[in-house]
Structure 1
Amino acid sequence: MTNQDNQLGKPISAIQVGATFSLTETIKERDVLLYMGVTDDSNPAYLKQTQDAEMKTVVPPIALMGILTRTVSMHFPGPGSRLIEMNLNISDPIPHNSTLTFDFEIIRVEELKQFVTIHAIGYYADDPRHERVLDAILTVLPPEENLDQLTDKIDAGVFQRITGGDTFDY
């Protein structure tokens, strides 16, 4: 393992609103079968062998969430990131062997609370209109920065203890 393999993704101080990342991926039947094996989810909508001729097999939503999660943890912001919340909307069933493009954009950086909000959309890669079939909002904790070097620069005098109560006197 090289030193580069151990590198963390971008810390919150290096992330800007408007930053983007994109990937295109084909979701194969093999991917769906792996999902089904791990989760023991045997929904007939996911299997060709149990389908009526008129029904199309669809990709399980959790498999799509896995692509989003993997992108956050491996690429954007990268290793060391933790997904803490996801809101996912799939507007149309996505059939097996679909090639989707996923576009990610940082829409909020909350330095005080140490999280970023990412908007992700998914559309068929061959669709020139980029009509969304997937829309997600992700709340992510980027990798933590090493604060050891900053401790001598922090002035503890600016921190004050606030006691409980319903009102504050200023």
Structure 2
Amino acid sequence: MLLRKGMKIGKKINDIVVGERLQITEKIEDKDLLLYLGLTNDSNPLYVQHDYAAETSYKKPIVPTIMLNGIITSAISKHMPGPGSHIREQHLIYLEPVYHYETIEILFEVQQIDMHLNIVEILVNAYKNKNIPVIQGIIKVLPPN
């Protein structure tokens, strides 16, 4: 999405409330993995080579964690707080691998709001197969002013 004059900005800090939630669902497809690998030049065989991954404890290729991180940061930029926001700090723990073609659900919830510093703390929890936790953490975001 290209920014254009008059484009609506995201929520300002006064418009955000503790407990506000967002849920997104993403399926990891081949095209997404190929774009990631092309952009980063990351040649880790664990991400794409089935024969190599079969010899590891994962048994099949996994999705790069930075790609999962990108899905999370994209949701923040698009929806919560939205365009004009900027991530100031993040602490994410990757609990389980996500494999190619899996669908993940990511839940975001506003935990704290610091009006003085203009920072919103957002809890992130992601699951695969509806109930297997794969990511948990906190992201601190500066909403647009």
Return the offset for 1:36.
Answer: 1.0
Matched, 1:15 2:12: no
Distance 1:29 1:17, change over 3 A: same
CA distance in 2, matches of 1:26, 1:41: 21
1:114 pairs with 2:118: yes
Q: Which runs of at least 4 in structure 1 moved beyond 4 Å after TM superposition?
A: none
Whether the 8 Å CA contact 1:44–1:50 is kept in 2: the answer is no
- Counterpart CA distance in 1 for 2:54 and 2:72 is 31
User: TM-score, length-normalised on structure 1?
Assistant: 0.77
The letter for the 1-side match of 2:137 is: A
Question: What is the identity, as a one-letter code, of the residue corresponding to 2:52?
Answer: Q
Matched residue type, 2:47: Y
Q: CA deviation at 1:53?
A: 4.0
Q: How is 1:35-114 mapped onto 2 (pairs within 5 angstroms)?
A: 35-48=36-49, 51-53=52-54, 55-114=59-118
Structure with greater proportional strand content = 2
Alpha-carbon distance, 1:29 to partner = 2.2
Could you tell me which amino acid in structure 1 is paired with residue 141 of structure 2? Answer: V
Gap regions ≥5 residues in structure 1: 145-170
Matching residue's letter, 1:61: T
CA distance in 2: counterparts of 1:58 and 1:41, whole angstroms: 13
Q: What is the CA distance between 1:81 and its match in structure 2? A: 0.5
Counterpart-to-counterpart distance in 1, 2:51 and 2:6: 42
Give RMSD over aligned pairs.
1.9
Larger RCO: 1 or 2 (CA < 8 Å, sep 6+):
2
Letter in 1 for 2:122: I
The reply to whether residue 123 of structure 1 matches residue 124 of structure 2 is no
- Cα contact 2:94–2:136 (8 A) shared by 1: yes
Give the stretch that moved more between structures: 33-42 or 110-119: 33-42
SS at structure 2 position matched to 1:35: helix
Structure 1 contact 8–78 (Cα < 8 Å) conserved = yes
